[in-house]
Structure 1
Amino acid sequence: MTEPERGIILERGLVRGGKTIHSLNPAYLIEKIIRERIFEALYWKEQCFGLTAATICDRAVELTYVGGQYGQQKPTPFLCLAFKLIQLQPERDIVLEYLAAEDFKYLRALAAFYIRLTFPAADVYKLLEPLLADYHKLKLRNMNGFQLTYMDEFIDSLLIEERVCDIALPRLPKRIVLEDNEVLEPRDSALGSELDDSDDEGE
């Protein structure tokens, strides 16, 4: 679906006519001060103008690190593209295609970040937990420079931390609460399977 069909992007990034997310205008998922810094960023002005749900992939596969702000509180390209996705509100199937792109780890990380920000809690667990078995290396940029992390660590932070890439994440209920309410099935743990196998061998 084209951008005008999803909603009109107004001045300062607010979206009119698009779907609300968590009962908010999608732009409000990013704090105002960070939105302002994104709009002033050279990357936003030069690389994000006119992007669609299809062409944003071209930018995402060029990413070389994840992160929020760096240096003098400059937003990273990762954060700029995440905000562009929030504006575009791509169809669910398109986001899932991004997430399935194993050969493009930063596109996958971007999709995971977007899912955590915008999808319902049950979908967040269902879609992101399988990536806890993805051990691709990722470069993370923050105020202190670059550091090495891994996809599973990045996904774990999305599931348990309150802020990731300098963005306050929407509240995520504990998994056990969703299980008790029969919204989620109990999670199959790879470690649990190994323990079961060990018990069988002992017998």
Structure 2
Amino acid sequence: MLNRIFEPYFTTKNKTKGTGLGLSVVFGTVKSHSGYINVQSRHDIGTLFEIFLPVYVKKEKTKSETERDLNSNIIMLVDDDINVLDVETEILEDLGYDVVKFSEPAKALEFYNSNCNNIAFSVIDISMPVMTGRQLYERMQIKKKDAAAIFITGYARQTDYEELTRKGAVIIEKPFTYEDLSTQIAKIYM
């Protein structure tokens, strides 16, 4: 039975007691962070779960990275989903950036127009109501033609992909990992 405990909907309890999704969710989360789970179970004694996750070690910055950071270390983050915005902020801060976040594209554009020379790049959700990520980016380019941007999307039209990549933007599809975002940021600076 132990070999099935991480399967979705597997449960040893009455079907009215729960969905049986708990351990499969834990397994998926641990796996997505490059970790693993060790399980030991003995009848009439109990079960022990050990979760192992890799340690994140913040690397020391090189002189050129430090100089770059002094000039433009601010990342403008725009996403209408507050929960996603908070997670993305945490990732960018872990990478050593100062993040200014907005859930409304119009407010982000106002900030950008006043501070574009202090912004290293922007991370923008493509699909937002009122003003899409693509529309925001096009308005940012009016102020600064070489505005650097990474777009995050769960779904985007092919025309958005083609137009944004033609303009030099980078697109990352959800769900993405810490490493995906870090790799794309490195490409912007190369």
TM-score bin (small chain): 0.3 to 0.5
> Counting helix residues as a fraction of each chain, which structure ranks higher?
1
Structure 1-normalised TM-score?
0.31
Structure 2-normalised TM-score?
0.33
> Counting strand residues as a fraction of each chain, which structure ranks higher?
2
Does 1 or 2 have the higher relative contact order (CA < 8 Å, sep 6+)? 1
